[in-house]
């Protein structure tokens, strides 16, 4: 179950229930228990950062939420109703979008084509390029994106921050209620990171629930409302994203503190070392 602290963050909507609620989520890969009894709440208009070392279970938890790797045990509530997410289509139907670290963009296509990939507008037997360009501009304007000089630019020629922006914008074409971002600032420069974090803040302003996976605690504390720590497949603590909580978050991630330098929680199960997705190393 979730480890509570006195530094629990205030909810985004006082009195309102969470958009997403997980209780007792467990996932096994043979003898390896990647997740054990994990709880998580995410509210609309809230950025929740999911942090932890490699092998903590972050990727496995996201796969359970997105339907890529359904949980073996536990319950999932969406807007207060019990739901079953057994496949990616189930998550998409609820309004959950995921932007993975590899972005899955087509470098040889322009921004417009990437935003409409698989959902192209048509006029008779032909693609309606004018309508798609108009919709692309409207979407980017609604997200206050100012870093793309042209929606007809080839994606392979864009910077890392611009590519991340296109990937996030594409996730928004399905009008989701929640967006999961997997390491959105990895390998980005300072200016590009600021652009992406500003976009994350705008998603919150639009009332979306956001789950942010990141190893960069500076980014986490800059944009998140609440920080949820996973350690060895279990809840490691819930913290407000305030500067005075940084040391506590680091201690929860590593299992080491000044008071207890050698203390670490028991693993979820006696099992070989695993990657973050739960597969044996």
Residues of the chain with pLDDT under 70: 1-15, 257-281
Q: How many CB atoms lie within 10 A of CB 70?
A: 18
Each residue of 167-204: pLDDT tens digit? 999 999 989 999 999 999 998 999 999 999 999 999 99
With a CB cutoff of 8 Å and minimum separation 6, the contacts of 118 are none
Residue 267 lies in a domain: yes
Answer whether residue 137 is part of any domain.
no
Domain annotation covers residue 257: yes
Distance CA 238, CA 254 (A): 15
Whether 142 is in a domain gets the answer: no
Find the domain containing 256 and state its range: 1-95+176-272
Number of domains in the chain: 1
Kindly calculate the radius of gyration of the chain based on its CA atoms and give it in whole angstroms.
19
Residue 82 lies inside a defined structural domain of this protein: yes
Distance CA 236, CA 223 (A): 20
Q: How far is CA 100 from the centre of its chain?
A: 8
Sort 15 into a burial class: Cβ within 10 Å, 0-12 / 13-18 / 19+: exposed
Quick check: is 118 in a domain? Answer: no
Helix (H, G, I), strand (E, B) or coil at 194: helix
pLDDT of residue 266: 53
Whole-number Å distance between alpha carbons of 275 and 281: 6
In a domain, 50, yes or no: yes
What's the pLDDT score for residue 3? 42
CATH of the domain at 31: 3.40.50.300
pLDDT of residue 6: 35
With 0-12 / 13-18 / 19 or more C-beta atoms within 10 angstroms meaning exposed / middle / buried, residue 4 is: exposed
Establish if 280 belongs to a structural domain.
no
Reported in sequence order, the residue ranges of 149-261 that DSSP labels E, i.e. its strands, are 178-182, 209-213, 226-231, 234-240
Q: Is the distance from CB of 233 to CB of 34 less than 8 angstroms?
A: yes
């Amino acid at each position: 179950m979730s480890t509570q602290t006195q530094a629990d963050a205030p909810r985004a909507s006082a009195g309102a229930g969470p958009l997403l609620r997980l209780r007792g989520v467990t996932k096994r890969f043979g003898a390896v228990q990647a997740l054990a009894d994990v709880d998580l709440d995410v509210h609309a208009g809230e950025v929740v950062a999911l942090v932890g070392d490699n092998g903590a279970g972050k990727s496995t938890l996201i796969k359970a939420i997105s339907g890529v790797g359904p949980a073996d045990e536990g319950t999932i509530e969406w807007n207060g109703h019990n739901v079953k997410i057994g496949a990616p289509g189930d998550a998409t139907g609820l309004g959950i979008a995921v932007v993975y670290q590899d972005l899955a963009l087509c470098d040889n296509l322009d921004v417009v084509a990437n935003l409409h990939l698989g959902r192209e507008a048509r006029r008779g037997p032909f693609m309606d390029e004018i309508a798609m360009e108009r919709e692309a501009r409207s979407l980017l304007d609604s997200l206050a994106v100012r870093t793309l000089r042209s929606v007809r630019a080839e994606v392979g020629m864009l910077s890392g921050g611009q590519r991340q922006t296109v990937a996030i914008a594409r996730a928004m074409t399905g009008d989701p209620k929640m967006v999961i971002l997997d390491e959105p600032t990895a390998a980005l420069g300072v200016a590009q990171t600021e652009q992406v974090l500003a976009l994350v803040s705008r998603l919150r302003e639009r009332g979306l629930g956001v789950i942010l996976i990141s190893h960069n605690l500076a980014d986490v504390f800059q944009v998140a409302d609440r920080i949820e720590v996973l350690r060895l497949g279990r809840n490691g603590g819930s913290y407000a994203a305030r500067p005075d909580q940084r040391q506590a978050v680091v201690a929860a991630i590593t299992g080491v503190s000044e008071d207890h330098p050698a203390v670490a929680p028991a693993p979820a199960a006696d099992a070989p070392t695993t990657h973050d997705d739960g597969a044996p190393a």
